[in-house]
Structure 1
Amino acid sequence: MSESMKVLPMSRRRFLQASGIAGAAGAAGIGAGVMPGFKTIGKAHAAPAPEAGGGTVITKSFCHQCPARCGIDVYTTNGRVHAIYGTLDNPISNGKLCPKGHYGTYLLYDPDRFKGPMKRTNPKKGRNEDPRFVPISWDEALKTAADRLNALRDKGESHRFGLLFGRGWGATDAGLLGDFAKLYGSPNVGINHSSMCSDASKKAKLCADGNYSYNSYDYENTNYLLIFGASFLESFRPLNNNLQAWGTMRSKAPRTMVTVVDVHTSTTGAAADRLLLTKSGTDGALALAMAHVILTEGLWDRKFVGDFIDGINRFKSGEIVAMAYSQEDLAKRRELEAAAAVKKTESDKKALADKAKLQADIDSLRVKIEESDDEKIIPGLKKALADLEKKAEGADKLAAAIKEQRGALGQNAKPQPDPAVGETIFREKWTLGLLEWWNAVLKDCTPEWAEKITTIPAREIKAVAKEFGSTRPAIALFERGATAHTNGIYNGMAIHALNALVGSLFAKGGLGYQSSVPWGKVSVKADKFMDSYAMSSDRKKPRIDKVKTDAWPMASNMMQEIAKNHLKGDPYKMDTLMFYLTGPIFSGPECKDWEKSMAETYVIDTSPYPGETAVFADLILPDHSYLERLQIADTYPFQGYPIAMIRTPAIKPLYDTKVFGDVLIEIGKRIQGPMGEYYKQLGNTESMIKQMAKGFEEKPGSNGVNSYESFVQKGVWFKKPYGYRQVAGEFYFWDGDTKSYSKQMVPAEVKDKLLKTPSGKYEFKSGYLADEHHAHYVHEKLGIDLELVGFPQYIPARHPGGGDLHFVSPKLAAQAEGRQANLPHASAFMQPTQGGKREVFLEIHPETAAKRGIRNGDRVRVKNDIGAIEVVARLYTGIRPDTVALPMIHGHWAQGRWATAKERNVSGSTNEITANVSEPISGLACYHTGKVFVEKV
């Protein structure tokens, strides 16, 4: 930290006197040690004194440490927060928290927090440049931001203002950005970090089932969990509930079987029944081979997928399946039917003959018993008779069944007509394109083929496929471990196809999608405040990340492209960048480009804490910590039924900070023209939240929440159960009157609400990808033949960097929302598989290390074409020999006293050696596809 970024004993009075006390910025330091880019840090400033009296208060809120949004009870005594527990009647937390749920208190009382708004006085920017911040009042801070935005608008350059955000929490923060962008006239307001998160998993599902979303999962009722590259017990959302569900899955009867596919042994892999260490980027080949086995073994769900009309499985390895009946097919069918009829007749004759012989044996035994005078043999004869009579009961039933069947065939049953020549040979129900997919791709994707690509033995692939196909219900889930590659969408489509083949979509123990919350409407409408400038055709500028242009026509966000596009001036240079809950200067691939970009732009940082972005910031507008906020949000996908959360302040703000949503509204009020009037009428976020909570009056929750007041009291609104269910190939609505899934859905309803593809079915041949414009783009970028672009398939990933080892940066259970590196409590158990304390290690296989002369504990250099960092190596047999892993945690150079302490053994961010390469369809940054060299320092 610098003298200008230290903790100051701020008060409201300080800001009324800001212009007169700017020189006080150098009064007191905040810690011990020296960090690059800052001056010596002094003694830590003491935490604010607690209030006298008041007793203990429990406030309902929800956690900020991951996307899960678990309900929390915050305990405050005498004005000081001292404990956080999971809310008992919140369906996600159920009274429990994961290890990182307790970080809130540390963050609230973090001595490195910003105490109020500040402005930069040093015009030079760089890692080693002290910003020389001075405190200013909120009036000055908001006016400074608004004046800059007004000046851009006056010049017709509003597009040169961008607002980038990370974890959007709801309508009163990220939800405000759409209207701000529209009214102000910038396409760059509201660019999300989703392209540096998990966009490919959502896009893969859009291609297949029409939903651009994450799945909800019915884990507790599933019997098989197949995990591709998702850290289920470390960081997969919602982690807290996953840990709870794991206990249920692994102890119920039948016990849920778990197979994990990864490149190293994670906590999840160590706890699974089977771990398959696949070659980096080859998950799709493995999934395709599994699909091949499921079809050739006849294990697909016929009630959901469909079947061959005559019931004969024609899926044979390497053989094309005819799309329709030919004359030869019909002749062969009649031949097989005739042979089967003869076989059945002979079987029936034998069964009747056996029955007659059995009856004769019974009659003979009865005569012997009646005529025998030898009391010694009579008991044995009687026992033999009883055994024969028991067998006769079964024979009688079989004979009756044969007679009934013959009668039905002769009198009541209508003969089934032969299919006509040209009639489809396979009748699909809720899927589309299965035979085409088989013929074009899948027929050759044998386990032996996949073994050569993945290095996983064919016998293992067959075993997992048979387990998955025969253990219903089953779930195949995946995340960016499988999709953060240049072939990521096709990997994801191949994995998701397994869910369709076994009928798991919207089924009990399967997966669905999250339902929306019935929020009330906010009374003020932005569309009524659009001025001629905002509506001008000149405002239709391309986004700085080039989304929806020829460069990235199918992506939703491309945050990782912004810095390099700005540096090139393509499509233009940015003037001002504002950041909310995102720090790409550390977390973006080839992150040093952001340092160059921010050195040229005016930067506004809204974080409550110092960090790399703040070093380059011109204006600091600090947010509250999350325990001081009033804020609402829908849940991330959970179990499908709608859930809404509310954060209520557990304590008055310790310092002169403002919640981000109100900062944005206050800037909006200061924009000239109708836009300013809109935000004046909107008021503030509290007014919005109260209006939105009115939606619960008409639709009260299952927990009785029906107003803003009851929402605050409970902390959560939810409506159980999930509204839809697929049962044996039929779809049903939940009927509240009968308390059952009994109201059948028609195909149009299924298409509207569940399978939202062009066909209203799960598409093995994606209509989205087969669209002419999309198909040509995919053909150009990935080299796939135009007629094949719609099918799940394997294409080799591209591995940039120039190294000889695959490099991955996995998430761990203690990782929180970007602040964990400065939490000693978190770092103490950050990498449990390696035993790291206040540090993390590079996982490297012993054989790989030996070839490079590296021993356990040696300091090594990890380098490639992009850059180099140094770290301590830890030999680990749980990783593939062709792969090294380093969690993306440490390597901060400006986050706080603990994050930059000398004990940290990582010299820089993992993203200093991560190439800025993206999956071409979704735009997801390929964090796990790069290669590196590793050498002893």
Structure 2
Amino acid sequence: MGISRRGFIKASAVTGATVAGLSANKPMLTAFSETDKKEQIAESGKWLASTCQGCTTWCPVQVYVENGRAIKVRGNPNSKGNHGKICPRPHLAIQQLYDPDRVKVPMKRTNPKKGRNEDPKFVPISWEEAIDAVTDKMMELRKSHETHKFALFRGRYTGAADIFYKALPTIFGSPNNISHSAICAEAEKLGPYVTEAFWDYRDYDLEHTRYVIMWSTDPVSSNRQVPHAISMFGKVLDQAKVAVIDPRLSATASKADEWLPVIPGQDGALVSAIAHVILKEGIWNREFVGDFKDGENLFAKGSAVDEAAFEENKTYGIVKWWNLELKDRTPEWAAEISGVPAEQIYRVARDFAEAAPRAISWLAPGSAMQIRGGYTSMGAHALNALVGSIENIGGTNRGEKVPLESIPELDSYLDEIAKKGKKHEKIDQRGRIQFPAFAKGELHKGVVTNNVADGILNEDPYDIKMAIGYWNNFVFSCTGAQRWEKAMEKIPFYVHITVNPAEMTQYADIVLPACHQLFERWGVIKSKQNMNAYGSIQQPVIEPLWDCKVDETEIGWLIAESFAKKGFSNLYDYYRNEFTDPETGKKATNEKEFNLVATKFLSKKLWDPSEEKKGDQISSWQEFVDVGVWNAKRTPYKKHWEEGFETASTKFEFYSETLKGLLDEHAKGHNTSIDKVMEAMKYEARGDLAFVPHYEEPIRYGDEKEFPLIFTEHRSRLNREGRSANTTWYQEFKDADPGDEKWDDVIKINPIDCKKYGVKSGDRVKVTSVQGSIEVTVKEWEGTRPGVAVKCYGQGHWAYGRIATMDYQKKIARGGNNNEILPSDYEHLSGSTARHGGIARIKIEKI
């Protein structure tokens, strides 16, 4: 714990703690270097390609392997997306790989009681015994025609996900394949969808931009395309202005031209005020938006405009937006409720428009994943349209297609039991009046992940009797975490597939050790950054350290094989019949072969010489493995300017006919009105206001008198999606996040508030909301807006290993889990968990 930063950088050998507990015959991590100088790397090893999934950027990387040991990770120099660069997260993956606290063999629970303070009393078992126990329970559900009472919970995933996540529950007969995605970012995708019919993460042309507004995001630390943002940020600062809207002085904000320390949840007020200034002062982009027919700007404060007076070009509904929302939304109005000075709002709006079209309004979960954040998401993206930066140079873009193969159709493998089971309502209750949960243009296609806990607890629409979870930890990662603890206690039989024994594992009846995604499996990934989409390989660069299996392919195969032995061969037949090695024509005969065959099958269009490729011309499987990444052609500008958008109007919609149509369909399905749907979703808008970006008052839990501080959180640049807290490097270098401290978990409070509430740096405090309490350390920090308390997400594990916890045996957490004080609520349009925007008020008490 006493390693210095300089010592870390110069070190060539890791501390004994890194490899403590590894058996003598297992490879050990012997060297680590921060430099990319090749002369410092022994020539006896080899660089092998793989993919990091420490965040949703999914960067192509290379791993240096010597004598069967993974020594170092670097960016793949063949990747155009990340410039051959990486952030700190892939380095931390090495410590994850060699973590002595990994699950090493299958285990079964011997203590029937479940609970946070219960010892599961796991004992090791064979894979055969473990899989047999799993399929016995599943076959019981088939015999009782209760297949719908099985659920498959997915966390992170690869391109092979549907082989397991979709095929297993579908062929078995359950509607309940539940993804983690709604606790991650779906509200962020909502805004671009209802305005331009694009449901995905966006790409940003940072290389050519001249202005960036960042909506509660810190792209050099988290969100999307982190390595690209890090490597490009110096150039951005040299050629562009940066405005960061965030109640916390993030790493990005500390270098920005403008820091707007907004009151949490009031981002929408700034959106409307910026749009008001751009229209009132006539500085919108006329090439994209259009203009008044007589050339005179009629947008005046407080005055409605005749729609017939404006002729739009590539957009739809600009005058409706003005009349319904913007005409009275002045910076002076926004300043009163956002806490940002009016003169700064004017300056940002003018500078942003002046840079057009090379300007980016960078939408992120921080502003979107709020109870009423859907319209902030919509509005922040609409600003890109106002300045003409949609699909434009220096602006916000989509990305080219990465042609991964889809899994073969499943319908012919469904028997009558499966068909009947699939017809049941999903356990997350999507489709009910309060959850339109639309995605990709379809109602009820989105997932309401966090609501699954309530569905289980209330047995609504039915009771869940068995579940399998992989690469997930909902007990830790979902708001209102205590609900998940109770829900997991209630599930009679739970199987957890995991690398580390996480909080979710403590409720498992069977634990199955998973291979580490970066180092120990075959797989294929697609992503985009730097205006380049790509498909990237994962390969077992080393032999698996322990008796682990690949979650989405190998374990699925073993389950299918076991089913077949028990008289239900449909899943096994599907795997055997439908997946053939496109290179050799052979079919898999065991789980390891299936992992490779499936990867080759899914990635065929990237490397098969017979396939036409709109990108790199890779001509064999081995070449793809060696190169490690297929790059699509650079994303073109203005593609949909010419082709038209896929919206209801075929234009970019400020007044969203697309949203209106979805809400109307949902309302009719419930024999009610759109206004009643809006009420059920906790939105304020009624009538046409519901179809334009607009300001909504944020909802907070807790009375201000009892809970005086607004709580908000952020992500760490060292956080591998909550999976790196059991590494010494994560804890030792936690102070890389502005305001944080190494080996501690601090709540950052402005000195003004510290004085007001009688606390100082180093004080241990109890932080309480209406949801619950945690214990952390106070940090006096000017980088927090007064009236707000800020804390990083990622600490507070009570089960993950000896580093993540203060006392693993006694389940004493290192710090506090934010999700134990954040109440459970939603951005209901998308079904996303509301975890930002100051949803919770808190009080602090010295311990």
* TM-score normalised per structure 1: 0.79
Q: Is 1:516 aligned to 2:412, yes or no?
A: no
In structure 1, how many angstroms separate the alpha carbons of the residues matched to 2:405 and 2:755?
63
Does the aligned pair in 2 maintain the 1:547–1:553 contact within 8 Å? yes
Deviation at 1:48, TM superposition (A): 3.7
Aligned residue for 1:764? 654
Cα deviation for residue 43 of structure 1 reads: 7.8
Residue 456 (structure 1) aligns with: 340
Q: 2:691 aligns with which of 785, 790, 794?
A: 790
In 1: Cα distance, 2:731 partner to 2:125 partner = 34
Residue 55 of structure 1: CA displacement?
4.0
The answer to whether the 8 A contact 1:840-1:905 is kept is no
- Of the three residues 520, 523, 534, the one matched with 1:632 is 523
Deviation at 1:760, TM superposition (A): 0.9
Q: Secondary structure of the residue that 2:805 maps to in structure 1?
A: coil
Mark the CA change 1:448 to 1:436 in structure 2 (over 3 Å): closer, same or farther.
same
Aligned to 2:263: 279
Kindly indicate whether residue 377 of structure 2 is the aligned counterpart of residue 492 of structure 1: yes
Residue pair 1:859, 1:872 contacting (<8 A) in 2 also:
yes
Matched, 1:819 2:723: yes
Structure 1 range deviating more: 594-603 or 865-874 = 594-603
Q: Give the CA deviation at 1:520.
A: 4.4
- How far apart are 1:128 and its partner, in Å? 2.3
Partners of 1:715 and 1:667 in 2: CA distance: 30
Deviations 1:235-294 (A, max 9, x none): 12111111012122223xxx1110000011111111111100011111111011101110
Structure 1 partner of 2:669: none
In structure 2, the residue matched to 1:107 is: 96
1:179 match: 167
3-state SS in 2 of match to 1:927: coil
Q: 2:555 maps to what in 1?
A: 663
1:222 counterpart (182, 196, 209): 209
Name the SS of the counterpart of 1:642 in structure 2. strand
Q: Is 2:460 aligned against 1:560?
A: no
Query: In the alignment, which of 387, 391, 396 is matched to residue 506 of structure 1?
Result: 391
Amino acid in the other structure paired with 2:598: M
Task: Find the aligned partners of 2:45 and 2:814 in 1 and give their Cα distance.
Answer: 42
Pairing partner for 2:572 from 676, 698, 708:
676
The reply on whether 1:590 has 2:500 as its aligned counterpart is: no
Mapped to 1, the partners of 2:419 and 2:765 lie a distance apart of: 56
Paired residues of 1:545 and 1:559 also in contact (CA < 8 A) = yes
- Of the structure 1 ranges 902-911 and 450-459, higher mean CA displacement relative to structure 2 is found in 902-911
The 1:654–1:43 alpha-carbon spacing in structure 2 relative to 1, beyond 3 Å, is closer
Q: Quick one: which amino acid aligns to residue 294 of structure 1?
A: I
Answering whether residue 784 of structure 2 is matched by residue 879 of structure 1, we say yes
List aligned pairs for 1:734-883, cutoff 5 A: 746=642, 749-750=643-644, 755-771=645-661, 772-774=664-666, 775-776=674-675, 777-781=677-681, 782-802=683-703, 803-832=707-736, 833-883=738-788
CA distance in 2, matches of 1:184, 1:902: 41
In structure 2, which of residues 258, 277, 298 is the aligned counterpart of residue 293 of structure 1? Answer: 277
2:242 is the counterpart of 1:258: yes
Matched, 1:531 2:390: no
- The structure-2 alpha-carbon separation of the partners of 1:529 and 1:542, relative to structure 1 and needing over 3 Å to count, comes to same
- Which one-letter code corresponds to 1:299 in the other structure? I
* 3-state secondary structure, aligned to 2:630: strand
Change over 3 Å in CA distance of 1:595–1:311 after alignment to 2: same
Alignment of 1:112-123 (within 5 A): 112-123=101-112
Going from structure 1 to structure 2, the CA distance change for 1:606 and 1:809 (only over 3 Å counts) comes to: same
Distance 2:449 2:650 in 1: 32
* 1:934 equivalent in alignment to 2:815: no
Mapped contact 1:165–1:193 kept (Cα < 8 A): yes
Secondary structure of 1:670's aligned partner? helix
| Partners of 2:266 and 2:322 in 1: CA distance | 19
Contact 1:100/1:826 (8 A) holds in 2: no
Tell me: CA distance 1:175–1:786, structure 2 relative to 1, closer, same or farther (3 Å). farther
Of the candidates 427, 444, 453, which is equivalent to residue 544 of structure 1? Answer: 427
1:685 is aligned, of 595, 603, 608, to 595
Pick one of 792, 799, 813 that aligns with 1:894.
Answer: 799
- Is the 8 Å Cα contact of residues 68 and 635 (structure 1) preserved in structure 2? no
Aligned counterparts of 2:771 and 2:225: Cα–Cα separation in 1:
34
Residue 798 of structure 1 aligns with an amino acid whose one-letter code is: I
Question: By how many angstroms is 1:175 displaced?
Answer: 5.3
Where do 5+ consecutive residues of structure 1 fail to align? 1-30, 33-41, 324-423, 733-744
Following superposition, the deviation at residue 756 of structure 1 comes to 1.7
Does structure 2 conserve the Cα–Cα contact (< 8 Å) formed by 1:165 and 1:174? Answer: no
2:637 aligned partner = 725
Aligned residue for 1:21? Answer: none
Q: Which amino acid aligns with 1:699?
A: E
User: In structure 2, how many angstroms separate the alpha carbons of the residues matched to 1:787 and 1:571?
Assistant: 33
Q: Which moved more, 1:632-641 or 1:494-503?
A: 632-641
Report the more deviating stretch, 44-53 or 216-225. Answer: 44-53
Which amino acid is 1:849 matched to?
C
Q: CA deviation at 1:853?
A: 0.9
Tell me the distance in 2 between the aligned counterparts of 1:635 and 1:113.
27
Question: Is 1:47–1:109's contact at 8 Å kept on the other side of the alignment?
Answer: no
With over 3 angstroms needed to count, the CA separation of the structure-2 counterparts of 1:44 and 1:655, relative to structure 1, is closer
Residues 48 and 106 (structure 1), Cα distance of their counterparts in 2 relative to 1, 3 Å cut: farther
SS at match of 1:808: strand
Structure 1 contact 815–830 (Cα < 8 Å) conserved: no
| Structure 1 pair 852–455 and aligned structure 2 pair: CA distance change class (3 A) | same
Q: Is the 8 A contact 2:202 2:396 kept in 1?
A: yes
Give 1:448 deviation, angstroms.
Answer: 0.9
Q: Report the CA distance between 1:642 and its aligned residue.
A: 3.2
- Superposed, 1:170-249 pairs within 5 Å as 170=159, 172-174=160-162, 176-189=164-177, 191-249=178-236
Note the C-alpha offset of 1:492.
Answer: 1.1
Q: Deviations over 1:841-864 (max 9, x none)?
A: 100011111111112211111102
1:615, 1:50 → 2: CA distance? 28
- Alignment gaps of 5+ in structure 2: 1-15, 31-41, 439-445, 580-587, 589-593, 667-673
Preserved CA contact (<8 Å) 1:222 1:508: yes
Distance 1:117-1:110 versus aligned 2 partners, 3 A rule: same
- State the Cα distance separating 1:521 from its structure 2 match: 6.1
The one-letter amino acid paired with 1:452 is E
Match of 2:353 in 1: 469
Deviation of the 1:77 alpha carbon: 1.1
Counterpart residue number, 1:738 = none
Q: List per-residue Cα deviations over 1:770-807 (Å, max 9, x = no partner).
A: 22245341244323212221011101011013422111
Q: Is the 8 A contact 2:216 2:366 kept in 1?
A: yes
- Deviations 1:907-932 (Å, cap 9, x if unpaired)? 43111111001112122211122111
Offset at 1:641? 4.1
Compared with structure 1, are the counterparts of its residues 689 and 575 closer, same or farther at alpha carbon in structure 2 (3 Å cutoff)?
A: same
- SS of the aligned residue for 2:499 comes to coil
**Counterpart amino acid of residue 454 in structure 1:** S
Contact 2:369 2:827 in 1 (8 A): yes
Pairwise CA distance, 1:108: 1.4
**Judging changes above 3 Å, is the alpha-carbon distance between structure 1 residues 43 and 674 closer, same or farther for their aligned structure 2 residues?**
closer
- Matched residues in 2 for 1:228 and 1:884: separation? 18
| AA at the equivalent of 1:675 | L
Amino acid in structure 2 at the alignment position of 1:558: V
SS of 1:809 mapped into structure 2: strand
The 3-state SS of whatever aligns with 1:621 is: strand
Q: Distance in 2 between matches of 1:644 and 1:47?
A: 37
What is the letter of the counterpart of residue 183 of structure 1?
A: I
Query: Identity rate of aligned residues, in percent?
Result: 33
Residue in structure 2 matched with residue 394 of structure 1 by the alignment: none
